[in-house]
Amino acid sequence: MTVRQIDDRDLLSAFLSTDRAACAYQIGDLDDSYFPWCTWWGAFDEQDQLRFVYLHYIGLSIPVALTFGDPDYLPGLLDGIQAELPHRFYCHIWEEHLPAFRAWFETESLRPMLRMVLSRDDFDPKADDPDVTRLGHRDTAQIVSLYDHYPDNFFEPYQLESGLYFGITDRPGGEIVSIAGIHVLSEEYDIAAIGNLVTHPDHRGKQLASKVTQRLLNEVFERVSLVALNVAEDNLPAVRTYEKFNFRRNHRYFEGMVRRAMLTETE
């Protein structure tokens, strides 16, 4: 096998599109809005066929790695790109890719997650709830305060420029208590990933998450035909909420921070 960096979006798209649901984030990152923040490495077999893709994304405050492909090719790929990888980063790792990762990284903090997907054909659009409002940069301070209740969020203020963040306040002019937005959206590649869905602990059980998610999906499905999201496997209330929207489970994977196994605690 050979390992090399890939800049050919057509090659990447063709490979990742063999499972669009599983690769929703990577496919979305092929869009011009995200591609400059991406470094892609591929593992190729003896016939020079692409067999594995490793994405290193730096468009967030924490670098993120995402994997897809034949697990037999991951050990050689990791061996070939070690000098390029940071000591610590966040990752989305398929379960079958974990053994290779554990040879290089400490993975104890990873937690099991579910990828769920919904197609436009299976979506039931409903009227927007009048309590849900579009959020913008004027709301940044409140949004950051709300996300303090969910430290694992991946919110960055620039994401508000998409116009696809929606929230509910506890009263007119009050504090934002529930929010939903996007991670990636690409009309060119006809795909989106929603996330950063959070409700204040004091306001749960009021269907607020369903209201903001409905509004978000109403708008996102005007632009693309496939939407994905990630949810903790043990977060059963959230899983049930998404299933009510007809999201279906695609696959189980692991998510969290990893660090090089050879590092000491002081490093």
Model confidence, pTM: 0.92
State how far the Cα of 246 lies from the Cα of 199, in Å rounded to an integer: 21
* Environment class of 262 (CB within 10 Å of its CB; exposed 0-12, middle 13-18, buried 19+): exposed
Work out the angle between the directed axes of helices 236-244 and 208-220 (0-180°, nearest 10). 50
Domain boundaries, the chain: 2-114+254-260, 118-249
- What pLDDT, on a 0 to 100 scale, did the predictor assign at position 73? 98
- What pLDDT, on a 0 to 100 scale, did the predictor assign at position 266? 40
SS3 content of the chain, % helix, strand, coil (to 5): 30, 35, 35
- What pLDDT, on a 0 to 100 scale, did the predictor assign at position 165? 97
Indicate the residue type of 105: F
Residue 73 near residue 1, CB atoms below 8 Å: yes
Residue 230 near residue 213, CB atoms below 8 Å: no
- What pLDDT, on a 0 to 100 scale, did the predictor assign at position 265? 45
Query: The domain 2-114+254-260 is classified under which CATH number: 3.40.630.30, 1.10.3720.10, 3.40.50.20, 3.20.20.150?
Result: 3.40.630.30
Q: Which residues of the chain have pLDDT under 50?
A: 263-267
Query: The domain 118-249 is classified under which CATH number: 3.40.50.620, 3.40.50.720, 3.40.630.30, 3.40.50.300?
Result: 3.40.630.30
pLDDT digits (tens, 9 = 90+) for 97-141: 999 999 999 999 999 999 999 999 999 999 999 999 999 999 999
Is-same-fold flag (2-114+254-260; 118-249)? yes
